[in-house]
Structures are given as C-alpha cells and as structure tokens.
Amino acid sequence: MNESQYDSICGAVNTKELRCVDVAVIGAGISGLAVADQLIRAGLSVSVLEARARVGGRLLGSPLDLGASWFWPGEHRVMALTQRLAIETFEQYRTGDALIDDIAGLQRYPGNPIDVPSYRIAGGTSALAAALTAELPPGTLHLQQPVHEITSDLHVATREHRWQAHHVVIALPPALAVHSITLPPELPTDLIDVAARTPVWMGDSVKVVAHFKEPFWRRDGLAGAAMSRRGPLTELHDMSGPAGEPAALFGFARAASMHADIERDIRDQLIRMFGKQAPEPIEVLIQDWSREQWTVPPDTYGLPDYAKFGHPMYQQPALAGRLHWSSTETAPSYAGHIEGALAAAERTVTSILGNCAATT
Ligand SMILES: Cc1cc2nc3c(=O)[nH]c(=O)nc-3n(C[C@H](O)[C@H](O)[C@H](O)COP(=O)(O)OP(=O)(O)OC[C@H]3O[C@@H](n4cnc5c(N)ncnc54)[C@H](O)[C@@H]3O)c2cc1C
C-alpha cells in the first residue's frame, strides 16, 4: 500500500492536528524500531511515537550497558542485524576463576562455571537502536510523545498530537500498555487480562556498573564472574569493552535492597570480594529499572507468571488484523531477550504486509 492509496482509505490529509500514516508504532525500543525499519523498506508510511526523550528502551548506555549486554550463540536475528548495520561484536571475557561470596566467607572457584559463551556489542547494545534510528527517514520518529489512547478506529493520541493509522503496533510491554494506554473497548477481556498479567522482563532489576581504570581482576587470574549471597550485588560479570577498554564489572541487585547509601555498600562489597588492592572505581552507575515509568507499571512488581510470555493471543493481531503486539514479552521464543524483541517485530511485519497485500 502506498501513501496515496492510504489517504483514500483514511479520507484525510496530514495536518498539524491529525497525521495519517499506514502504521503507527508505539515505542522506539529495539522491537518498535525494527518494525519501523522493515515497513519503511517495504514502502509503507510509518510514525514511531516514543514516550521518552531517547530511543532504545531497555537498551541503554554507551559504551557501558545499563540495560541489555549480551546475545548468545544461535540468536541469529541479533547477529544478522549487527552485520547489516556494520556494528562490531566481540566475545564476552570469561577467562579465569570465579568468586563465590558466601555467608561463611569468600571462595575462589577454579575455572568459570558462571559465564556461558556469549557476545557483546562494541559501544553497547544501544548502538543497535542508534543505528536503526539513523536509517529512519526524517520526521518518522517523535520523541517525548507518550501515547495515552488508541481508539476503535485507530486514532492514536498523545497530549500534543493525534495520528490516524491503518495499523497500530504496541511495541512496549503488554502490562505497561494496559496500565498506561486507554485501549479500544472491543479488545477481548481475556486478552486484556493476559496482557495485565504478563511480567515485564527485568522490570524489577537493578543493574550496577563499576567503571575502573583497568581490568585489574584479569591480572589476578579472575574472570570477573561471581555470585554473592551477601550482596548487595548478587551476581557479577566482566563488562569491559573489546580488549578490556573501558574496564568495568557489572552486577545485578534487588530493587528492594536499594537505599540512600547503596553506592557505599557496593564499593565495600567490591573490596570485600576483590581484595584491598582493588582500586576505587572511577564511577559507579546504578540503574534501577523498577522505577522507570516507561518500562514497568507500578502495580506489576514481581508478576510471577512467565508462562504468559509469547501467549498465543499475542500472535494474532486484534481489531480485524490491525492492532499488533510487538515487545519481547510477546515472542513465543527468546522472549525477554533482544532476539525475542526482533522475533516479535518480524511476526508483526509479516502480518502487516500480508494484510496490506490482501486489501490492495
Ligand atoms: C537490566 C537489564 C538487562 C538485560 N540484559 C539482557 C541481555 O543481556 N541480553 C538480552 O538479550 N536482553 C537483555 N535484557 C532485555 C532486553 O533489554 C529487552 O528484551 C529488549 O530491549 C526489549 O525491547 P522492546 O523493544 O521489546 O521493549 P523496550 O525496550 O521496553 O521498548 C519499549 C519502548 O516503548 C516506550 N514506551 C513505553 N510506554 C509508552 C507509551 N505509552 N507511549 C510511547 N512509548 C512508550 C518505552 O520508552 C520504550 O522505548 C535486559 C534488560 C534489562 C532491563
């Protein structure tokens, strides 16, 4: 479908108040950006509406990742995207011994049973979102436009603007969509119920990155991988860039363990685990995802039912094939991963292009 064909369906021309597009994509995370990229290449007009002042969603930080860090062997969509966008990848550093920080004391564990083989992205995973954004035609992306309503006839409203679309893609966690967007009343109640109870992947996590002058632990034969029962960091990994530059360790902490002086506790833990010779970090970055209003709604903390991921109801578009679910949580395989977000995007694009072919 081209724009003039769409205008005849839409029956309106673009104005400041109402913009007509083939597809309105809500959310400029990796899934929404991948949908937009592929539909624009197929010749459709697309607007991407993003609540935050930045793209990437749960891909954040450059070069130090505060959201996703890894992709794994077999995740061919991520690998193919890095190749297409000429983004450098490298293997996760895993060489050396691991540490176990138990209640009884610190143990050095020969070899590294904690890290599995994985890949990283030079410049951080947000480089994927930045590169896809750079390929969007001017005027496609609209930042700081939180969508608060999708009507039955697919008007999409933010506080400042309205769009009329032939297809709408909800590329944000389903529980957040149900919480923050007034959805068309025709949507089946069991679909709304599934969406409201689908957990937000890593939505209750805190990621902590300790940035050092050099990867000093490697000199001591340590991989940087560790588990801790004492915390506040429960699991640690080397998060240095290619060839150890920039040098960094990252750890996950529980949102419930955050308090005003948490950085002091984290610095103390690093000294406890890596020894008094461990230098002070240049900086400690703390990203508490449970407090991010555009990732996780307030009342979903600890939703337990991960079997809702990739639910069959997400695989079929609603509203006569025109309303699509496309975040990582909706993917039947690799849900939660970047690969899952790309798989969901792929299904959405196939569905929209199939629907367009059927109606033209
Ligand atoms: C700490 C952490 C570590 C992770 N580690 C890994 C890892 O190592 N490997 C891996 O594969 N995955 C990892 N993940 C998961 C990975 O980040 C996600 O699978 C992926 O980024 C999800 O992309 P998405 O596009 O589906 O959703 P999101 O990235 O959440 O994008 C949704 C977008 O919608 C926007 N939005 C929300 N509400 C609205 C609204 N009302 N109107 C308009 N826009 C809206 C948001 O601002 C956001 O930009 C991690 C995640 C976290 C938080």
Directed axis angle between helix 126-134 and helix 30-41, to 10°? 30
232: Cβ below 6 Å to ligand 1? no
- Specify the pLDDT at position 5: 40
Distance from residue 59's CA to the centre of ligand 1 (Å): 6
In percent, how much of the chain has pLDDT > 90? 89
pLDDT digits (tens, 9 = 90+) for 141-191: 999 999 999 999 999 999 999 999 999 999 999 999 999 999 999 999 999
Distance from residue 27's CA to the centre of ligand 1 (Å): 9
Q: Which atom of ligand 1 is nearest to the CA of 31?
A: 25
DSSP state, 56?
B
pLDDT digits (tens, 9 = 90+) for 190-202: 999 999 999 999 9
- The span from the CA of 317 to the CA of 189, in Å, is 15
Distance from residue 317's CA to the centre of ligand 1 (Å): 21
Q: Which atom of ligand 1 is nearest to the CA of 289?
A: 53
Distance from residue 295's CA to the centre of ligand 1 (Å): 7
Distance from residue 328's CA to the centre of ligand 1 (Å): 8
Per-residue pLDDT band at 277 (split at 50, 70, 90): confident
3-state DSSP assignment of residue 205: strand
- Closest residue by CA, ligand 1 atom 48: 57
Q: Which atom of ligand 1 is nearest to the CA of 337?
A: 11
Q: Which of 28-32, 56-60, 201-205, 347-351 has the lowest mean pLDDT?
A: 201-205
pLDDT digits (tens, 9 = 90+) for 290-310: 999 999 998 666 788 999 999
Q: Which atom of ligand 1 is nearest to the CA of 294?
A: 37
323: Cβ below 6 Å to ligand 1? no
105: left (phi over 0), alpha (psi -120 to 50) or beta: left
Distance from residue 105's CA to the centre of ligand 1 (Å): 36
Nearest to 288, CA basis, from 280, 296, 300, 299: 296
Distance from residue 215's CA to the centre of ligand 1 (Å): 29
How much is the mean pLDDT over the chain?
94
List of domains in the chain? 3-59+127-201+294-359 (3.50.50.60), 92-116+204-291 (3.90.660.10)
pLDDT digits (tens, 9 = 90+) for 336-357: 999 999 999 999 999 999 988 7
- For residue 215, pLDDT over 50 is answered with yes
- The span from the CA of 360 to the CA of 42, in Å, is 14
- The span from the CA of 158 to the CA of 181, in Å, is 10
201: Cβ below 6 Å to ligand 1? yes
Taking the CA atoms of 102, 118, 257 and 214 in sequence, report the sign of the dihedral they define.
positive
68: Cβ below 6 Å to ligand 1? yes
- Closest residue by CA, ligand 1 atom 4: 68
47: Cβ below 6 Å to ligand 1? no
**Ligand 1 pocket check: which of 71, 156, 172 to mutate, most ligand atoms within 8 Å of Cβ?**
172
- The span from the CA of 296 to the CA of 99, in Å, is 32
* Cβ proximity of 229 and 102 under 8 Å: yes
CA angle 85, 43, 312 (to 5 degrees): 80
C-alpha dihedral, 314 to 317 to 319 to 325, nearest 10°: 60
- Closest residue by CA, ligand 1 atom 38: 294
Distance from residue 19's CA to the centre of ligand 1 (Å): 27
* Cβ proximity of 54 and 354 under 8 Å: no
- For residue 8, pLDDT over 60 is answered with no
Q: Which amino acid is residue 249, in one-letter code? A: L
